[in-house]
A and B are shown apart, each in its own frame.
Chain A
């Protein structure tokens, strides 16, 4: 059967310093940013979350909690609308190849912010991080996480999202790099009217191994969630997708939907999808779907009839799936790099 990736499978790194993070677009006076390393203690709101289950596995969480060497605590003050995205450039290289980041984002009531995490560069290394997002009443938080680490990287990302009353969190994972990459996004819609949407993509080639999970907990009435994951697998790449919609009794009028689409580009790929739906409340609308298959032959033929070679046509079709999400990345330089560099290079070999 299948198993989630576990700590035992990788060679654990020894503790190392990390100093090459760069934050861009700091020009906001309504945003307070501190390095978590330099905090006297964790914020009380975060400590209160100690019993909220999240993460790939306990061992990953504990490692970050005890050994984080990077990370930012970002507070957005009430009613502030931060227009320009805050970009956190987590660069890795030979000297900085062990990144254990602990990020905390607190959006006060009615604030709006967009934060882009770009995990990039380096050839080999280890990344294990925690990101906790608290979106208070009426706030809107947009998170984009780009993972384009080197081919020999092991990458693990544990996320916890708490959505407040009438708050909205929009989440995007762009997964392209690393040898082994796992993420887990646990979303708690604890209060009335909370909304969580997610549009994510992945591209696995060669012998990459991805483990992706979204767990949405509807614990209050009139909460809404929508998770959409699209990706393509080539070579002997493997992907596991876990999508849990968990609706608690009392979460009346909750609306939840989930969709996963995988394009299979080679005979030797492996895809496992577990779209689970747990429901304890009848007055809801919940549905999920998962589909997998090859690129539509008719579409390939059509594109080729316009002069594209088979390889080029396939690339085009894969781009068609991935681009809509890449286009959402609110930071041009990164978008360019991904489209030109990563995607093209990986599809056409």
Chain B
């Protein structure tokens, strides 16, 4: 059989290197001075400044993780932490500078805006450039603010919730780093009983060589409320290592529901070390929908802490690891209360030497009476030079449970290809159709334009592959 003729992914739409002026840049390397500069630039209250400094201390003391992807090439010090372009935060689209608008236009933001999304908080190189909150949201009492502003506008809430009860700087080294130099992100608060009809969307992008993305997303869904948040990101190709160490903290209060969708498409030289965690109270629901493409190396394990009785969590995700990529992802489901349930559907595709690893944790604590959990992992390998690894850990400390875990790995069968070709499809189209079918559960759960984007990404990734 002939070796496939591989074409590099055509990301021309994303490879936009605008000649945007960079107003301020922190010098290379991470030090107390840098952290103070960042805080000063943002005009932060002293408590946040102190929080950053404490986190820096923790970061400096912690060792690098010894498992997961290979981080030996990552040189954190040489990554410029903070860049602010000349535009200040905007209220309406028209006020945003031409260059920046163009970039977002090419990435599809205005269309999304036109499609009656509630609002767009967009991060451009560590700073929120454009932000628009629709009237109805404000009327309902929903807060949808960029994180920098939220720190000053709602200090009490932020002080109480920002990396205190959920993710903390002590969790691991990259979270500590994040805590010290975080910049930008989104704060969402949904009041009791309010159901936000339209998905809230944030869009951010790295553009300068060596710049890091350390955005912080904090969502608090009060009792009985509902909100769907979408994050999607992209970055152009650069030779200097890019680092993304973001953090997402979700609080699902009693009877509330948060849907958190992500399409990740970092450029192929990015280290994507993200931390996402949801704490779910009584009868609350968290749904994670995740499509991980791109990046050089990714470590991503959205965690759901089912703290209240009847809490539910669901994770539906696909990872696509192509040439030079190692995507190490998984989900953590921690059952701590009675009658909780969790469901994981993790699909992965590996091609051209890519490595796709699923690292999951399912933990049933001694008080998790009546827990129900299911995990389903499927790995699709498109050639014999790639890897698909599944490493689940299932820990059970209660007998009144119903737990099932299943994993399988394989390839597209010749029989399937023959069948589809007998109905007129070319071999490439047959493969593409099967892969599309493979990721369909994830596409189905995403809002339409994200599903379309994901299918488009997959098509690009597959193009050029022959048998």
A and B pair up: yes
- Interface residues in chain A, defined as those with a beta carbon under 8 Å from any beta carbon in chain B: 1-2, 247, 249-250, 252, 262, 264-294
A289:B400 contact, CB within 8 angstroms: no
Contact A265 B399 (CB under 8 A): yes
Whether B405 sits at the interface, judged by CB under 8 Å, is yes
Cα distance, A301 to B261, chains bound together (Å): 44
**Contacting pair A280 B400 (CB below 8 A):** no
Inter-subunit contact B384/A281 (CB<8 Å):
yes
Beyond the given pairs A267-B400, A287-B406, A289-B406, 12 more chain A to chain B contacts, judged by CB atoms under 8 angstroms and listed by A's residue number, are A2-B395, A250-B384, A268-B366, A271-B396, A276-B389, A277-B379, A286-B408, A287-B407, A288-B406, A291-B403, A292-B403, A293-B403
B385 contacts the other chain (CB 8 A): yes
7 residue pairs from A and B, CB less than 8 Å apart: A250-B384, A262-B396, A266-B399, A272-B393, A277-B408, A279-B387, A294-B400
Q: Hey, which chain B residues are within 8 Å of A280, CB to CB?
A: 384, 386-387
Whether A276 contacts B396 by the Cβ 8 Å rule is: no
Question: B397 contacts which chain A residues (CB < 8 A)?
Answer: 269-270
Interface centre among B389, B395, B399 (most CB of A within 10 A): B399
Chain B residues in 8 Å Cβ range of A1: 393, 395
Q: Once the chains bind, are A275 and B405 in contact (CB under 8 Å)?
A: yes
Residue of A nearest to B385 (CB): A249
CB-based A-B contact count at 8 angstroms: 117
**Residues 349-388 of B at the A interface (beta carbon under 8 Å):** 366, 379, 381-388
- Cβ distance B458 to chain A, nearest Cβ, rounded Å: 18
State whether B409 touches A274 (Cβ < 8 A). no
- Contact of B401 with A277 in the complex, beta carbons under 8 Å: no
Residues in B with CB closer than 8 Å to A281 are 381, 384
Contacts of A292 in B (CB 8 A): 394, 396, 401, 403
What is the CA–CA distance of A252 and B393 in the complex, to the nearest angstrom? 28
**In the A-B complex, the 3 residue pairs with the closest CB atoms:** A264-B399, A287-B408, A282-B381
Known: A282-B381, A287-B408, A289-B404. A294 touches B399 (CB 8 A): yes
Are B384 and A293 in touch, CB under 8 angstroms?
no
Cβ–Cβ contact A274 & B392, under 8 A: yes
* Cα(A225)–Cα(B383), bound, Å: 22
B403-447 interface (Cβ within 8 A of A) = 403-411
- CB–CB B405/A287 < 8 A: no
Identity of the chain B residue whose Cβ is nearest the Cβ of A271 in the assembled complex = B396
List residues of chain A with CB within 8 A of the CB of B387. Answer: 278-280
B391 on interface, CB distance cutoff 8 Å: yes
Q: What residues of chain B lie closer than 8 Å to A2, measured between beta carbons?
A: 393, 395
Alpha-carbon gap, A151 to B406, bound state (A): 34
Within 8 Å CB of A268, what residues of B? 366
Query: Smallest distance from the beta carbon of B313 to chain A beta carbons, Å?
Result: 18
Residue of B nearest to A270 (CB): B397
Whether B384 pairs with A278 at a CB distance below 8 angstroms is: no
Contact residues, B171-197 vs A (CB, 8 A): none
